[in-house]
Amino acid sequence: MVDEDEGRAPDWLIVRRDDALDVPGAVVLAGAATRTRAGLFAALADLLPLPAYLGNTWDALSDVLRDRLAAGPLTLLITDAGQLLVDEPTGQYALLLAVLGDVATTAPHPLRVVLNEAPAF
């Protein structure tokens, strides 16, 4: 049996390679600010109304995003997404996607994540 979804991104995740960053209502995170887990957490805390007690753990991020999504939908646009967590061990990127995927599929309102890496000219 062939898996029709193999190689396809989940519905909550959009991967783009263009200069058009028009994603209405999106919270924009600069990839350069998300090279480390601490940088990612700090950028999210600066841009979203997250509680001050946000810890630097994936469980804490899951909890606060789920709480945020109780108030309504959220779209995160990460520009220069190739920079996302590049200064962390490889598994951290996979953990982030797992956390976002879990939140996106179980939260009361939709979470969309747009990873945009503009082509180099």
User: Residue 86 maps to which CATH number?
Assistant: 3.30.370.10
In a domain, 64, yes or no: yes
In a domain, 29, yes or no: yes
Nearest 5 degrees, angle CA 77-CA 79-CA 83?
120
Supply the pLDDT for residue 3: 40
In a domain, 7, yes or no: no
In the 8-state DSSP scheme, what is residue 52? T
In a domain, 121, yes or no: no
* CB distance 109 to 72 below 8 Å: yes
Q: φ, ψ for residue 23 (rounded to 5)?
A: -125, 90
Q: Which domain holds residue 80?
A: 13-116
Report the chain (121 residues): mean pLDDT per 10 consecutive residues. 57 83 84 94 88 83 92 93 94 95 95 84 51
In the 8-state DSSP scheme, what is residue 118? P
Question: What global pTM score does this model have?
Answer: 0.85
Supply the pLDDT for residue 119: 62
How many Å from the N-terminal Cα to the C-terminal Cα in the chain? Answer: 41
H-run or E-run covering 76: strand 74-79
Number of domains in the chain: 1
In a domain, 2, yes or no: no
Supply the pLDDT for residue 25: 86
